[in-house]
Structure 1
Amino acid sequence: MNEARLFNRHHLPFPLSDARRVTKAVRFVQIACCLGVAAICLTARADETAQQSRELHMLHGHKRWVLSVAISPDSHWLVSGGDDQTLRLWNLKTGAAARTLRRYDSAVTAVVFHPDGKRIAVGTYGGELGICDAASGKMLREFEGHKESITVLRFDPTGKYLASGSADDTLVVWDASDGEALITLQQGNEYDVTTAAFSPNGQRIVTGDGENELKVWDAASGEEVRTLRGHSETVTSVAFSPSGKQIVSASWDDTLRLWNAGSGDEVHTLRGHTADITSVLFTPDGSRIVSAGEDKAVRIWDAQTYKLLTSFQAQDDSMMCLAISPNGRYLAGGSKEVIRVWKLQ
């Protein structure tokens, strides 16, 4: 249901270049010097305490970066895709590894549960796209059409349609039952479709791209409704609020932006992350916004007042992807070789 994943620079299934990291590190050091070492230490201790009080499980099994995670509609299972070319299933409540569902010829870059919880859509860096059985991993249907890596997958609320974004600059809406390509959305530039989301009523699709823009589309006709401009770098993640009235987007410009879904007006900009933001989503009740990124931190914001409620250091390495359970109790985040699960309530 609520799944969010990372689109990486240059389509690479690993974090940013060393040059980018050095630039951002210098900026962070400059800020740190101004604030003082003592304040940094106090923040680190507070972050550590918050993390310890939240963290339920550390899931080990992937041998490289975890690129995508999703949680089943019943909030019992977690599926993960990794740079180690595996699709893995976990018991979310116990943290136990259930099984390795499938192995692929390239990195698994996008995963999402079908609304019935019995099927999983999977996309890879090599452009493979299919739906497999959630229990056995057996391939049920393959989809042919994308020419490059799959960057994002979303089912519409009914589960009848599957939307797939790709590095080939298109988003395709498929009939999930027979694999027919129904609509192909052209982003209108030479940059990848980096992220996408269906509105709660399934009538709209919002996409993000490498040219810093978001576009809202009519899901039935494929007509472009409007373009949202405001970010200064690549849009990495996007989500509709449960009410469908707002859109939140994340970017490499280190900001989150709130948009009025009806008018397209920018409502607010959330600042606080100190590096590229890779994932953002609303909690199922719509009261909070959760974000994470290259600064290794998870931040939770009030969706009404836009105030930062809490933040905590989540990983030893960059956060690549996030998922929230439909019951709102669990938050999962993928990083290098590990998935962490936290308690939200």
Structure 2
Amino acid sequence: MKLAGLKSVENAHDESVWAATWIPATETRPALLMTGSLDETVKLWKSDELTLERTNTGHCLGVVSVAAHPSGAIAASASLDSFIRVFDVDSNASIATLEAPPSEVWQMQFDPKGTTLAVAGGGSASVQLWDTGKWKLIATLSIPRPEGPKPSDKNSSKEVSRAKFLHHLEGHFMPVRSLVYSPANPRMLFSASDDAHVHMYDAEGKTMVAALSGHASWVLSVDASPDGAAIATGSSDKTVRLWDLSMRAAVQTVSNHADQVWGVTFRPPGWSWPPCRPAC
């Protein structure tokens, strides 16, 4: 595997781009690339041409996280203005506005079935779970410090009765910025940290498998390739690195950014358009 430049857009936003994710294709349109910026906007890009499809507004401060529903029909953006905006991808119509404490939502993710939106970040050491049918908060999962008391599940319902704290994975000595599971091995978890390292963990075995070093500064984002053979990382050292997991080493460094790289994401396989019918 090798990273190769396909398309590049200069001045894609008026300010730094802090978040990026893929929106799945639907019956009526192809997959889209969604970006969020400190310029308070969310932009949707045609994935092959990297041409701007639409600019969404609605936040009053910078956008720090974006997430796409598995259906491709809805998406969410989180801002420093203390709100999460859930919107229709094709029309930009607001579906829900979720309130969160200031600077408490730095990462968001829909579960694979699309029934729950998990949001995390800030100093509260908790994860909030939102029901995507009624857009109601269904649980606040407190994450304890290693020496602290056992966590409590506030506002829990039967829907999240199994959402409980399991264990700490230790190894980093500075804040962790990004997490991703391997699509090929659900036990394998990758973490990116301000300590300039990327760790591989066996999440079920509670052990660190490897520590990857090479970046000169904070590692701000990590994503795993669909086949599980590689990961990509973005760093405040202005580089993107591609790591071969069999070698456990960086095999390529891309240095064409002029500033910190806050987001990396692999395009999932099979996201062609029009959607493939059984006869094709």
Fold equivalence (TM over 0.5): yes
Contact 2:220/2:261 (CA < 8 Å) preserved in 1? yes
Relative to 1, partners in 2 of residues 1:65 and 1:113: Cα closer, same or farther, differing over 3 Å? same
In the alignment, is residue 93 of structure 1 matched against residue 48 of structure 2?
Answer: yes
For 2:274, the equivalent position in structure 1 comes to: none
In the alignment, is residue 181 of structure 1 matched against residue 137 of structure 2?
Answer: yes
Give the aligned length: 249
Residue 62 (structure 1) shift: 1.1
Measure, in 1, the Cα distance between the counterparts of 2:98 and 2:235: 31
Larger strand fraction of residues: 1
Amino acid at match of 1:284: P
In the alignment, is residue 106 of structure 1 matched against residue 47 of structure 2?
Answer: no
Residue 91 (structure 1) shift: 0.8
Measure, in 1, the Cα distance between the counterparts of 2:251 and 2:9: 24
Residue 165 (structure 1) shift: 1.0
The higher relative CO (CA closer than 8 Å, separation ≥ 6) is in 1
2:162 to 193, 212, 221: 221
Relative to 1, partners in 2 of residues 1:305 and 1:253: Cα closer, same or farther, differing over 3 Å? same
In the alignment, is residue 137 of structure 1 matched against residue 92 of structure 2?
Answer: yes
Contact 2:19/2:262 (CA < 8 Å) preserved in 1? yes
TM-score when normalising by structure 1? 0.68
Measure, in 1, the Cα distance between the counterparts of 2:263 and 2:196: 16
Residue 328 (structure 1) shift: 8.2
Contact 2:177/2:192 (CA < 8 Å) preserved in 1? yes
Contact 2:80/2:102 (CA < 8 Å) preserved in 1? yes
For 2:246, the equivalent position in structure 1 comes to: 304
Amino acid at match of 1:58: V
Residue 168 (structure 1) shift: 4.9
Give unpaired runs (5+ residues) of structure 1: 1-49, 190-218, 330-345
Summarize the alignment of residues 248-263 of structure 1 with structure 2, pairs less than 5 Å apart.
248-263=190-205
In the alignment, is residue 237 of structure 1 matched against residue 188 of structure 2?
Answer: no
For 1:276, the equivalent position in structure 2 comes to: 218
Relative to 1, partners in 2 of residues 1:272 and 1:65: Cα closer, same or farther, differing over 3 Å? same
TM superposition outliers: structure 1 runs of 4+ over 6 Å: none
Identical aligned residues as a percent: 25
Amino acid at match of 1:184: T
Residue 59 (structure 1) shift: 5.1
Relative to 1, partners in 2 of residues 1:166 and 1:231: Cα closer, same or farther, differing over 3 Å? closer
2:80 to 117, 120, 125: 125
My pick for the range that moved more, 253-262 or 121-130, is 121-130
Cα deviation 1:313-338 (Å, max 9, x = unaligned): 13011111112211289xxxxxxxxx
* 3-state SS in 2 of match to 1:143: strand
Measure, in 2, the Cα distance between the counterparts of 1:297 and 1:175: 37
* Root mean square deviation of aligned Cα: 1.9
Relative to 1, partners in 2 of residues 1:168 and 1:272: Cα closer, same or farther, differing over 3 Å? closer
Contact 1:184/1:222 (CA < 8 Å) preserved in 2? no
In the alignment, is residue 148 of structure 1 matched against residue 102 of structure 2?
Answer: yes
Measure, in 2, the Cα distance between the counterparts of 1:290 and 1:166: 22
Contact 1:283/1:328 (CA < 8 Å) preserved in 2? no
Measure, in 1, the Cα distance between the counterparts of 2:171 and 2:93: 43
Measure, in 2, the Cα distance between the counterparts of 1:61 and 1:304: 35
Contact 1:129/1:143 (CA < 8 Å) preserved in 2? yes
Cα deviation 1:249-298 (Å, max 9, x = unaligned): 01010000000021110100001111110001101111111111011111
Residue 55 (structure 1) shift: 3.8
* 3-state SS in 2 of match to 1:153: strand
TM-score when normalising by structure 2? 0.84
Amino acid at match of 1:91: K
* 3-state SS in 1 of match to 2:258: coil
In the alignment, is residue 65 of structure 1 matched against residue 19 of structure 2?
Answer: no
Contact 1:147/1:168 (CA < 8 Å) preserved in 2? no
Measure, in 1, the Cα distance between the counterparts of 2:226 and 2:98: 30
